Structure 1
Amino acid sequence: MRATRLLRPLIVAVAIAFLPAALPAAADSAPPPAKAAIPTDQLRPDSGVSPRVVNGQRTTVKENPSLITGLRVGGGGPQGASCTASVVGRNKILTAAHCMIDATGAKSYLYGDDDLNTTGDESFRTKLASYKVHPQYTGTNSWRTGYDVAVVTTEDDIPVPSSQWAKVAGSGDSALTEPGKSGMAVGWGKVSAGGSSGVLYKTTMPVNDAANCQVFDIKVNPELMVCVGYSDGRTGTCSGDSGGPFTVDGVVVGVVSWGAGNCDRYSIMARLTNSMGDWAKKEIGNVDPGDGKFSVSLNPAAGQVAPGKYVSTTLTSKAGEAGAEKVELSATGLPTGTTATFQPTSIQSGDTSKVTFETSTQTPKGKHTITVEAKGTSGTKTATYTLTVDDGTSPEGPKPVLANDSATVSAGGIVQTKISVTGGQGSSKLTATGLTMSPMFFPQTVAPGGSSQMTAFAPMTAGVYKITVTATDEAGKTGSSTYTLTVR
C-alpha cells in the first residue's frame, strides 16, 4: 500500500515520471486520496519520497515550434522558468490561468531553448503586455473548480511563422477528448517531484473516463477537465509543466492544470473541447495566415560614424505565407555625400544582406533617418536606420540608461532589465560589477541608440546589492549607472 503523500501547489512544465511496479495492496485497503496540486515551479517532495525514474523522451523546440517558456521574477526553475505555454498568434500565447493568477512576480517569455540550464541559447525574449483569464476563473486556487485557461499578449511579435502556431480546439472538437484517445504532453518541468527541471521532454498518455480518475481530494469535473495518464503516474506532468499543451491529432485539446503533488497519479488538463476553447479562440482573435507578404528588419537599427567613414548593418528578411520570393533592395533619405551599398542587392525573402552606409567629409553632422526599401512580387516593405554622423570630438562618453534601476527578489532568483546606450563613439561594450556572479547581457555590444537586456542572478544571502553597469565605447570612454538589487 502506498504511503500517504502530502501535495503542495506549484506552477509550470511537462516532466515524465515513471513508477516501478508497486507491491500488491491488501485486499481490504486502497490508496488514500491524493491531495490535488497545481504543478508549479515550487513543487517540493514530502520527506521520505524517493525520486522516480523519468519515462519521457527528450525533444526539441525545433520538433515542437509552437512551444515557449514562461518566466517570472522569483521563479523556481532555471532562469526563473515557471510555466510552459503555446504560441497561438503573432503575439499571442495560450497557457493556464493559474500561471497568471496564482504565480507572483513580473512575467516574460523565452523562445528557442531546449535546455534552460544553460543561458544564451534562446533566440527570442519578450515581456508580457497583458493577459486575460477565463471569466469564471475567479481567483487564486480556482483551478480546483476548473476554467484554468488564459490568453497572453506579448510586447513583441514572436518569431514563429503562422503555419507553426498551435491549433486550438473548440466545442466542435469534443471527439478528440473521448476516452481511448491518445495525446502528447510537452514541457520543461521536473522529471519527478524531487528531480531536476529545465530540459524539454515529451510523453504520450491516454485519455481516460473521468469516473476512473476520482483518486484525488477534489473532483475531476469531466465538463471542464480532461483526465489523462495513469493511476500510478508512470508517466505524466510535473512541476514546471503548468500551462503546457496536451495535443491530440495535432490539436491542443487541453492545457496542463493540476495533478498529484508528488507527480504519481493522473494528470489533469483544462478542457478546450467545449466553450472554454471557444472563449480562448475568441480572445486569440483572427489567426488566419497574413497577406503572404514578407517582412524585413535591420540589426542594429542605428549606428554612429565620423564624416568620411562607414558603418554597416544587416538586413534580415522573412518569407511570408506564400513562400520565398525575389526581393530588390534600395535606400532613400541618405544625407548629403552618403551612399548605401547592399551585398547582395537582390535576395530571396528569408535571406540576409549586408548594408554599408559610407559618408563623405561633406556629410552634415547629426542624426539622419534612412529608409531601406525591399520590393518583392507581393509588395514593398521598409525598415528604418538611424545614422548619427559625429567626428568624435565630443568629450562625452557613452551612457547606459536602465529601464528599471531597482528590483526586489527572493534569494537565488533572477531579475532582468532593459538597458539603452546613448552617446559614445561607435559601439559600446556592457559590463557589470557588484555581484559574485556577474550579470549577463544580451547582446553585450550595443550600437549608439541600441539596447540590451541584463540578466542577474540574486545571491543566496539577503541584503541590498549595488550593481554598477558600465558602457565602454570604441574610444575607451566609459559611462555607468547603478542598479539596486534587494534580496529578501
Structure 2
Amino acid sequence: MRSPRVIATLALAAAAAVLPMVSAVAAEPPRQPLAKAATPTDLLKPEEGPTTKVVNGTRTTVKENPHLITGLRVGGGGPQGASCTASVVGKRKILTAAHCMIDVSGDKSYLYGDDDLNTTGDETFRTKVASYKVHPKYTGPNSWKNGYDVAVITTADDIPVPESQWAKVAGSGDSALTAPGKSGQAMGWGKVSAGGSSGVLYKTTMPVNDPANCQVFDVTVNGDTMVCVGYNDGRTGTCSGDSGGPYTVDGVVVGVVSWGAGNCDRYSIMARLTNEMGDWAKKEIGGDTPIPGKFAVGLNPNSGKVEPGKYVSTTVTSTAADTGAEDVQLSVSGLPSGANAVFQPDSIRSGETSKVTFTTAAETPKGVYKLTLSGKGTSGTATAEYTLTVGEGTPGGEIAASASPASVTVQRGMFAETTVTVNGGSGTISLKGSGQGMSFPPMFFPQTISPGGSSEMTAFAPFNPGTYPITITATDSNGKTATTTFTVTVQ
C-alpha cells in the first residue's frame, strides 16, 4: 500500500506537468479574423473600418524600370482611366493578369512613359489592344480565386522599348526563384492605401512565404498556382491598380499581381509563373514573332515622287523563313487623302515579288508621306517603309486636320470619341487636344501618326450639361501646325 507522502508527491508532479500547458494556452494571442479577398483592380472597394496605408514603398520611374507599362480602360477608376499595371515582354506583347481583361468592362489600351498619371502629357506612347489571350484554365470572372490569373496581350502598335529592356519571364525551370525565403520586388501605379490616391509609380520589396502560413483569407491560397509574398501586418504590399504588375526575383518576373485583402492590409498574392503557367505565357509571347532575319519584305525602290492625280509604282520583294515558303498577304497604311494602293497580286508566297502602284487624286495634298508596307504570313508580320512625295513635297507643306464626326452628344461623365485624320505635312505628326471645362485632356490612340494617317481620340465628358468645343492641334516634324474642332454636347 502506497503511503500518503508518495501519493502527494505524484499529485504535485502531475500538477506541474499540466500547469505549463494551461499557461501556454492562456498566453496565445487572439487570432485575426479571415480577411475578405479581392482582386486589386481599380474597382477594389475597402472593407469597412479604418484605412491602412499598405504600400509604404518608394517612388521609382519608368526610366529605371523600362519594362513597366500602364493599363487603361474606358471607365477605369484611376487617373486617365488607369486600371492595371503590366510588363512589356515583346515588340507588341504585354504580360498582365487575366482578371484585368476578363473581370472588368470597357475598351482597354496601354500608356507608356509616365511616372505620374495625375499630370497629363508626360507619356511617350499609347496603343490599343489588338488581341489578348488568358490562360485556358482561367474560365471566367472571379477565376482568380482558383489561380491561373495570367494573360498575354498583343498591342496594335510597336512598343518603344528595345528588346534588351523587355521583362524576362520565368518558367517551370525556375522554381527555385519562388522558394520561401526569397526576396523580390513589386511595382505599380496602384493606391498607397485602400482608400487613398493612385496613379504614381511606386516599388516595394517583399519576401516569398510558405503558402501554408498565408491562409488568412476567405479564399484558399493555392501554392501550386499562386505565390504568397509580403507580410500579415500591412507594413507594405500591393493595392488597387497594381493588378497585373510584375513581382520580380533576381531580375526575372516570377509572379503577376493577382489578389489580396479587400483592405490591402495583409499578404499580396501573385499568379505563379515558375510552373506551366510561365511556360504557357512564354509560348504565347513568342507565338506571333517572325523568325529573325528570315521572313521579310522590302521595296525596290523604297521611295517615289508623283504629281497629284498621277501614279507611281514599285516592286515588293520578300524572303522566306527557314521553315520554308508561306502565304503572305500584302497591305499598305499611311496613305494620304485620295490615294490608294493597288497590288499585282496582293497575296504572294514568301520569296516571290509583287508590284504595287500608288495612285493619287487631283485633290491629294502635296507633301511627303511615310507609308508602311505590311506582309502578314503564318509565322508573323514583317514591314517595310516607303516614302511617297506628292507634288513638290516641300517639307512643312500644307497640313490639314479633320475630325469625323465633328460633334457628338453624350451623357454626363461618359466618353466621346472621334477619328482625327491629318493630311499633308511631313515626318511624324503629334496630336494634342484641349478644351475649356474639360476634366481631363483628350487621349489619342496613337499619339503620333504619319501624313495621311488617322488616330482615335477619346474625351471624358464633364458632369455639367453644356457644349464643350475641343481644339485638336496637329504638329509635324517641321513645326507646321493645323487645327480642327470637335464639339461635345453634354445632356
2:101 is aligned with 1:100? yes
Is the CA contact 2:469–2:485 (under 8 Å) kept in the aligned structure 1? no
Alignment of 1:233-272 (within 5 A): 233-272=234-273
Distance 1:132 1:113, change over 3 A: same
2:459 is aligned with 1:456? yes
Please give the TM-score of this superposition, normalised by the length of structure 2. 0.68
Q: SS in structure 2 opposite 1:204?
A: strand
Deviation at 1:138, TM superposition (A): 0.7
Structure 1 stretches lacking a partner, 5+ long:
1-24, 294-329, 337-363, 373-380
Deviation at 1:194, TM superposition (A): 1.4
2:427 is aligned with 1:402? no
Alignment of 1:134-149 (within 5 A): 134-149=135-150
Is the CA contact 2:434–2:471 (under 8 Å) kept in the aligned structure 1? yes
Distance 1:397 1:102, change over 3 A: same
Question: Matches of 1:189 and 1:369 in 2, distance apart?
Answer: 43
The letter for the 2-side match of 1:458 is A
2:116 is aligned with 1:115? yes
Deviation at 1:167, TM superposition (A): 0.8
The letter for the 1-side match of 2:63 is K
Distance 1:207 1:445, change over 3 A: closer
The letter for the 1-side match of 2:121 is G
Question: Matches of 2:385 and 2:101 in 1, distance apart?
Answer: 35
Question: Matches of 1:40 and 1:239 in 2, distance apart?
Answer: 5
Deviation at 1:388, TM superposition (A): 4.0
Aligned residues: 388
Alignment of 1:8-407 (within 5 A): 27=28, 29-52=30-53, 54-285=55-286, 291=292, 332-335=303-306, 383-389=385-391, 398=400, 400-402=402-404
The letter for the 1-side match of 2:402 is P
Distance 1:472 1:171, change over 3 A: closer
Larger Rg: 2
Question: Matches of 2:137 and 2:77 in 1, distance apart?
Answer: 28
Larger relative contact order (CA 8 Å, sep ≥ 6): 1
The letter for the 1-side match of 2:386 is T
Deviation at 1:27, TM superposition (A): 3.8
The letter for the 2-side match of 1:384 is Y
Deviations 1:149-199 (A, max 9, x none): 000000001011111111111111111111011111010001111111111
Worse-matched range after superposition: 277-286 or 181-190: 277-286
Deviations 1:292-345 (A, max 9, x none): 89xxxxxxxxxxxxxxxxxxxxxxxxxxxxxxxxxxxx9842458xxxxxxxxx
Is the CA contact 1:37–1:258 (under 8 Å) kept in the aligned structure 2? yes
Q: SS in structure 1 opposite 2:89?
A: strand
Please give the TM-score of this superposition, normalised by the length of structure 1. 0.68
Question: Matches of 2:406 and 2:89 in 1, distance apart?
Answer: 30
Q: SS in structure 1 opposite 2:173?
A: helix
The letter for the 2-side match of 1:149 is V
Question: Matches of 2:232 and 2:212 in 1, distance apart?
Answer: 12
Structure 2 stretches lacking a partner, 5+ long:
1-25, 295-300, 308-361, 372-382
**Higher helix proportion (structure 1 or 2):** 2
Distance 1:64 1:139, change over 3 A: same
Distance 1:410 1:475, change over 3 A: closer
Distance 1:229 1:416, change over 3 A: farther
Question: Matches of 1:50 and 1:425 in 2, distance apart?
Answer: 53
Distance 1:233 1:292, change over 3 A: farther
Question: Matches of 1:66 and 1:476 in 2, distance apart?
Answer: 33
Is the CA contact 1:54–1:191 (under 8 Å) kept in the aligned structure 2? yes
Distance 1:436 1:167, change over 3 A: closer
Question: Matches of 1:92 and 1:153 in 2, distance apart?
Answer: 5
Question: Matches of 2:481 and 2:95 in 1, distance apart?
Answer: 46
Deviations 1:99-129 (A, max 9, x none): 0000110000000111111101011100000
Question: Matches of 1:417 and 1:254 in 2, distance apart?
Answer: 38
Distance 1:151 1:485, change over 3 A: farther
Deviation at 1:419, TM superposition (A): 1.2
Q: SS in structure 2 opposite 1:279?
A: helix
Q: SS in structure 2 opposite 1:100?
A: helix
Q: SS in structure 2 opposite 1:333?
A: strand
Distance 1:384 1:485, change over 3 A: farther
Question: Matches of 1:225 and 1:129 in 2, distance apart?
Answer: 28
Distance 1:120 1:145, change over 3 A: same
Question: Matches of 1:423 and 1:485 in 2, distance apart?
Answer: 33
Is the CA contact 1:91–1:158 (under 8 Å) kept in the aligned structure 2? yes
Worse-matched range after superposition: 472-481 or 229-238: 472-481
